[in-house]
Structures are given as structure tokens and as C-alpha cells.
Amino acid sequence: MISVAEAEARVVAALRPTGPETVSIAEAAGRVLVAAAIAKFDQPPAPVSAMDGYAVRAEDVANVPATLRVIGTSPAGHPFTGKVGEGEAVRIFTGGVVPDGADAIAIQEDADAGAHSVVIKSSAKPGRHIRKAALDFAKGSVLAPAGKRLTARDVALLAAGDVASISVRRKPVIAFAATGDELSRPGEARKQGGIVASSGYGLAEMIARWGGTARDLGIFPDTAEAIARIADADADLIVTLGGASVGDHDLVRKALGPKGFVLDFWKVAMRPGKPLIFGKLCDTPLLGLPGNPVSSLVCAMLFLKPAIAAMLGTSANTKPMTAKLLRELPANDQRQDYLRARSEIRGGELYVEPFIVQDSSMLSILAQADVLVLRAPQAAAARTGDCVDILMLE
């Protein structure tokens, strides 16, 4: 058995980023930049007003009230092309370009408008209510670096910088196959004593959220012939659900050995999820997740999420936060534990209460949980109120 950290490191080290593809800015959210996104022009492109009011010369309003002649207007999108001279003002609106000659904005709340003139009642220092050219960003500046996964806010920023399309990593195709004679699909006839294949439906959503393209290969019976067919999937990474426990592991190796499977590691010192296979099928990485749905989904969070991030040329944020325990926990054994738990905020502090029952077959508990509490191997018993590391669930 190897540690969780070593297993993650070996998975990540075995993967290479996918190639680039070009997408429009409207399709860019959640994608990972191959190269830095660069602003195509200054934002704002010229000094603009931050308020509705009058563009003035500060020296003309040093003594107020001051009556100025209104020589034009400068709404957003329609710059005034003349120049503001002594004793003159231009009516201006938020986002309007500040005309030549003016160096301050007198806001309309402090002005009395006449037919062709305005009385300014408060003085304004040079630069008042003016957004300088390039205040937000300058032409040529980096709006988002290579390797950044773009948020909605990044996408808005890139659009503002006139970036119409970008080069991003191709979404890695993650093909997954459930193995097991006991499995049926939801709504199909169930087998005697059998159960319904479930974790793939959750896994597909997680793969999409983490930036991959999920491909459901279906359910495969526990025969070497069937499992060998999984190796034929055209994918960047193949995931098996089940097929990692002792007997299954032998079957998987027997079935996939002739297809070029080389094992990297098997078994990780963790709970849920000890039986985990990682290796390569010729050039295609293969991750064998445990059959228990809780184990498979927790292992996906710990190993498939960083695997997809590595294929996108970035890294997954798996840094734990901390919270205070709402009940005591016994000392831990040699396996790193991921306890399903419920969190709540009390007086601004985050508390967590691990569920009493932690059976790895119980999806109902995983669905009710919103955090996982990490327990290091050999961790001492913890008391109510102690701080523990946690991972937030979706």
C-alpha cells in the first residue's frame, strides 16, 4: 500500500497535457488557457467620466458658484470632438469620453442646468470623477496567465479586452466502464440479488465539472473477454468502476495484460477506497476505481480530479480547509480516512459533525454529507472542538 499523496503524485506524473484548440469567448468559461490572454487595447480607451455631470476645467470651478457655458454633450459612445476652453463645460454621462481641455467632472447633483449654461455649486479638483485611460488594464497586459482555468469573471474580463477567441486545452475524454455481473441500468430489469449501476451517473457530472468530457462505455460482465474490450476505448484516460478488489484485480490484469497493461500501483492506504489500480494500457492511462459507490466517488475526487487537471496543464485545488469537530473521533489506524460529515456555521465559525455510520456502501450518507473530514494515518483520538482538516464536497 502506498500513501494517498504518493498515489496522487504518481497519477499526475504519468499524465501529459492535451493539445490546444481554439474556442470563442462565448464558450471559454471553465476552459484552461494554453497561453496568456493579452488585452488588445487600453480599458478605458480614453479618460472617461465615472458620473453623470459636466466636464469642466478645475480652475474654472475653484470659486463657486461658477456659471459655465455648455458647448456640447459627451454621452457614452458619442465623444465630443471639440475642446473645453475657459468658462466652458460639456454635459457628460457615465462612460462618456472626457473632452480635450476638461480635467474634472462636476456631478449633476451639484449643478443647476440652464438653457445653454450651467451653475456649478461645488468645486472639483483635477482628476475628480475621471477614470484615466487604461485604469482597468493597458493594451498588451496579461488578462489571465497560461494555465488559468477561466471563471465567469475572467471571461468577462477577456471580452472587455477584445479577446474574441482563445487557445485552450482540448477537454480530455474520460471513458468509464462499470464492471460486475450484479449490475443493471436504472429502469432495466434488475438481476436476482443484483443492484443498479450508480456511481457512473455521479462520475459523469464530476468529470464535466472538472473540465473533461465523460463517455459512458456501459456495464461489462466479470469475464476477461468483456473486460479486454474496455481497452479498445478511444479516450485520454480509461476509468473502471469496480474491478480493483483482490479477485477482480486478478481478472483485470489477466484481461488487460495481453492488451499491453502495465501496472503502476495497486492499493492505497486510505478509507474508503483501498483497492485502487493505476497503470497504462500502452499509452492510455487507466484508473481502476473501487466498486463501492462511495469509495469510487471519493477516489475520483482524490485522483481523477487532479488527473484531469494535469491533462489540462493546470493543477486541482485540493488544499484542505479546517473546521471544528462537533463530536469526538477515535484514534485512526494506518489508512488515511475520509469521513463523510455535515458542516454548519455557528457564530461565524465552521463546525463539522462526522456521521456515525461510515460504511463505504452507503451512498445515502455521502449524498447527505457536504464535507469530508481528513484523518491522517495513526492520527490520535480527537475531542469535540478540536480542529480537523476538511475537503468541501460539491
DSSP state of 222: S
Tell me the site size for a second copy, rule CB under 8 A. Answer: 97
In whole angstroms, what separates CA 130 from the centre of its chain? 35
Task: Give yes or no for residue 136 binding a second copy (CB under 8 A).
Answer: yes
Which lies closer to a second copy via its Cβ, residue 19 or residue 193? 193
Q: Which of residues 285-324 bind a second copy (CB under 8 A)?
A: 291-293, 297, 319, 321-322
DSSP state of 335: S
Which lies closer to a second copy via its Cβ, residue 137 or residue 266? 137
Q: Which of residues 179-218 bind a second copy (CB under 8 A)?
A: 180-183, 185-187, 190-206, 209, 216
**Interface pick for a second copy out of 7, 8, 11, 30 (rule CB under 8 A):** 30
Q: Which of residues 65-84 bind a second copy (CB under 8 A)?
A: 75-79
CB of 368 to a second copy, least distance (A): 9
Q: Which of residues 267-286 bind a second copy (CB under 8 A)?
A: none
Task: Give yes or no for residue 162 binding a second copy (CB under 8 A).
Answer: yes
Task: Give yes or no for residue 351 binding a second copy (CB under 8 A).
Answer: no
Task: State the Cα–Cα distance between residues 276 and 292, nearest whole angstrom.
Answer: 11
Q: Are 314 and 168 in contact (CB under 8 A)?
A: no
Report how far apart the first and last C-alpha atoms of the chain are (Å, whole number): 28
147 φψ region: left (φ > 0), alpha (ψ -120 to 50), beta (else) = left
Q: Is 312 exposed, middle or buried (0-12, 13-18, 19+ CB in 10 A)?
A: buried
In whole angstroms, what separates CA 323 from the centre of its chain? 22
**Interface pick for a second copy out of 14, 70, 135, 391 (rule CB under 8 A):** 135
CB of 285 to a second copy, least distance (A): 22
C-alpha torsion sign, points 63, 66, 69, 72: positive
C-alpha torsion sign, points 237, 243, 249, 252: negative
Task: Give yes or no for residue 236 binding a second copy (CB under 8 A).
Answer: no
Which lies closer to a second copy via its Cβ, residue 157 or residue 287? 157
CB of 63 to a second copy, least distance (A): 27
CB of 157 to a second copy, least distance (A): 4
DSSP state of 246: H
Which lies closer to a second copy via its Cβ, residue 180 or residue 212? 180
In whole angstroms, what separates CA 91 from the centre of its chain? 44
